[in-house]
Chains A and B, each alone.
Chain A
Amino acid sequence: MTVNSQVLDYIASEESFLDKSVIIKEGSMGDWMYVILEGRVKIKKQTSRGLLTIDTLSKGDFIGEMAMLKQGNKTRTASAVADGPVMLGLLDSVRLAKEWEAQPTRIKKLISNMIQNLEEATKKAADMIVESR
């Protein structure tokens, strides 16, 4: 997967992370968002049996979009941890938020609903993985 050229235009700064470093911590506050420029990132969730990897994202994927597009609270719903050295692009959140706000109500409702579903599906998947072990 490559990084869409339109997305590159939103990158405010580039940040590199070493293997296993925590990029986003579950439960913390924040609504900035990254796009993966190089490397892989593991998405982990805290469960009753410790930290569990539920997905691995790679080049071109976004991290942190859930908090950004969610209505209301900006708590991070999962942790993002570098899987090997990673280069990320921090997106211009002011510009993104402005463009997001300018969308018609129903479009916003539709997408934030999808983000909410993703949050629930992620939680459920994590629970199921724990139960099955």
Chain B
Amino acid sequence: MTKAKRKIPPVIKLNYSKGDLIIKEGDYGTSIYEVISGKVGIFVESGGTETRVAILGPGMIIGEMTFIAGSTSTRSASARALEDCCLEAWHPAMLLNAYKKMPDVLRLIAGQALKLIVRMNKIVVGLSLKEGQHKDSQTQELSDQWEEKRKFYRKRVSLECIFRPANSPKDLKIRGRIRDISKEGLQMTVKTSGLLNYTLIPGDELFISTYFVSDQKVNMTAKMTWLKKGETDGTISLGMAFTHMEPEDRKRLGFFLMP
């Protein structure tokens, strides 16, 4: 297993349509987004309703609060596209080193700003609820008025992995390459020469392990849903659906998939 997977993903551009949910309050996720075009609304939920606490336009940042608060905290507000918009997503790993090296004073100031924003938002949300929802157009019922279209998308990757059939000896390691991955499953290619004497058929359960961005190994159990000849000779392509993952690994996958 090489450590090449530790490379920090580049900045990616994402397009959202009006109404799309970009970040959901309470989710795990540490990506930071810069609004390139369009408008994004920031909403805080309380008592079954959402209150808009801010509108962000080009040049503004979303998701910085979770970054400052640390990766173990959840998103403190939801972000939705108020119109069609384009965002640039920064992977937190890109900024983490620089942030850690920052003088304590600057970090403390950022931490205080975060604390005060949370306090101010609480005042705003608390008072808008008291005012009554009918009166305040910024507050709306949490309904299907907004389409849930978070980009938990199928991510194209090229990740080395090792795997073995569930019923094989524990020390068996077959190499594969994950081509894309989502919350539900993954697609990978395997060199037939590396399969040794193992025959894989749909329905087989595999133990797969890989590394996403850091040194942390992620283990996944998945069932093969399909198998076909690979695009290059001597390879096969496997479609896998996850059947088991430890909560910690699921969280890591969630982080990895969050744009």
Chain A positions within 8 Å of B, measured between CB atoms, are 4, 6-7, 10, 54-55, 61-62, 65-66, 69, 91, 96, 99-100, 103-104, 106-107, 109-111, 113-118, 120-122, 124-125, 128-129, 131-132
Answer whether A114 and B95 are a contact pair too, CB < 8 Å, given A10-B105, A125-B124. Answer: no
Complex contact A128–B127 (CB within 8 A): yes
Answer whether A111 and B106 are a contact pair too, CB < 8 Å, given A121-B121, A128-B123, A128-B124. Answer: yes
Complex contact A65–B109 (CB within 8 A): yes
Pick the 10 closest A-B CB pairs, nearest first: A121-B120, A6-B104, A113-B61, A125-B123, A128-B127, A125-B120, A110-B64, A65-B109, A104-B98, A132-B127
Complex contact B108–A118 (CB within 8 A): no
- Residues from chain A with Cβ under 8 Å of B105 in the complex: 4, 6-7, 10, 91, 96, 99
B53 at interface (Cβ–Cβ under 8 A)? yes
The number of A-B residue pairs with CB atoms under 8 Å apart is 107
Q: Which of B67-108 contact A (CB under 8 A)?
A: 67-68, 90, 94-95, 98-99, 102-106, 108
Give the docked Cα–Cα distance between A80 and B99 (Å): 29
- Residues from chain A with Cβ under 8 Å of B68 in the complex: 110, 114
Complex contact B131–A124 (CB within 8 A): no
- Residues from chain B with Cβ under 8 Å of A121 in the complex: 53-54, 116-117, 120-121, 124
Give the docked Cα–Cα distance between A104 and B120 (Å): 28
Answer whether A124 and B120 are a contact pair too, CB < 8 Å, given A103-B102, A110-B32. Answer: yes
| Closest residue of A by beta carbon distance from B121 | A121
Give the docked Cα–Cα distance between A60 and B120 (Å): 19
What is the minimal beta-carbon distance from A7 to any residue of chain B, in angstroms?
Answer: 6
Give the docked Cα–Cα distance between A96 and B53 (Å): 31
B46 at interface (Cβ–Cβ under 8 A)? no
Answer whether A99 and B124 are a contact pair too, CB < 8 Å, given A106-B95, A113-B60. Answer: no
- Residues from chain B with Cβ under 8 Å of A6 in the complex: 103-105, 108
Give the docked Cα–Cα distance between A84 and B106 (Å): 28
